[in-house]
Every structure is written in structure tokens, then in C-alpha cells.
Amino acid sequence: MLVLPGGGFLRKGDGGWEVWCAVCQRLDELAETDDFDPDNLQLPATVPPGSATTVALRVLGMTRECWKCGKDTLCLVGLYPERPARGYGGLHTTDGEAAMKLAVRLVQSKGRPDLAAPVASRYSRVMRERQWANGCQHCDALQGNHPVHEEAFARVVAAGGADGLDTLLVADCPLLEWQAVVYGQGGGVIGV
């Protein structure tokens, strides 16, 4: 996350000195306490001093063949910082509701409702639950979070990072919304 000049915390990491944002530092300190409960993280309600108010995120996608109609369809698959900090390695996948809703909001805010249109809350017979998921742009068939993200993972591994997916656009995201995805418990993360 972007830390403004004169902000953040300097800490020694495995690769040398690093600048960490105030929220990351605070959560690391909390994690070292005996009563730390990762399921009940209390994120700040306002941006901490020294932190930027927004972060530029890449909205990532991939084109795949629809299982039902056989046509190529574009799926929203993840979020990744445009300029990640040294050592940052989490590509947040849209198989979590918070990440998918944020990806949809970001593409809509950049004037690309066409990218968001196939995404909806859909019932998955395999998972036996409703989930925010991609649908085919042609026949509207549920693409399924598991198969979509399994394919995305394979592309990331083959390419050695987030560049295995297509950057659909870069959008400024309010810092607190991004932190809710990063520190939330409801989505997948691919290590890059």
C-alpha cells in the first residue's frame, strides 16, 4: 500500500528495511498479542496518518471458453496493486464476495459497465449456495468460481505472477475498501 513521504513505519524485514503502512503495522502488533482474534479484526474507520487515501489497483481478468455455449467469455478474476510494495505477494481473487463486489464497483466507476454486466449473485448447484460469480457474456451460464479460479491460478503459476492474467483497467480504490478485502476472511489469495 502507498505510504506518503514521512508516513508509515520503518521495520527490518527479510529483504532489508521496509516501510509499512500504519494499519499493517497495527495489525502485526495485534497478531503478537495473546488475545488476537483474526476473525474479529477491527480495521480503522478513517485512513491512518501517513497513509495515502487511495491505492491504484489492477482489475484482472481472463478470457475462457464457456462450458455451455463454447464461446469465449471474459471473467473478472482478481485485484492486485498497480505498484505493490516490495515483498507484497497477494493477488486477491474474486471468489470472495467482497473482492468481486469491489472489482465490479471499480470497473463501473471507470465507465466499463460491460465488464461488470455478466457478474451477479447466482446459485451454484455444486456449492449449494448463492455466490457472486461470473456468467457467460453470451448465454449467461454460471462459470463457477472454482473452475474459473483454478484456471486463473494455473495461468498465474505458468507466468510466474499476476501478469499471467489480463489487466482490464487500473482504478483508484479508497484505501479502507482495499484493506477490507486484504484483511477480510471471505476470499481467496494467490501468492505471486
Residue 187 φ then ψ, to 5°: -160, 170
Q: pLDDT per residue over 153-174, tens digit each?
A: 999 988 888 999 999 999 999 9
Q: Residue 92 in contact with residue 187, Cβ under 8 Å?
A: yes
- Distance (Å, whole) CA 135 – CA 112: 16
Neighbours of 176 (CB within 10 A): 17
Residue 78: strand pairing partners: 60, 93
pLDDT the model gives residue 169: 97
- Low-confidence winner among 35-39, 65-69, 112-116, 125-129 (lowest mean pLDDT): 35-39
| pTM of the shown model | 0.83
Neighbours of 34 (CB within 10 A): 4
Edge-to-edge strands of the sheet including 166-174? Answer: 166-174, 54-65, 72-81, 90-93, 189-191
pLDDT the model gives residue 99: 93
Q: Residue 62 in contact with residue 77, Cβ under 8 Å?
A: yes
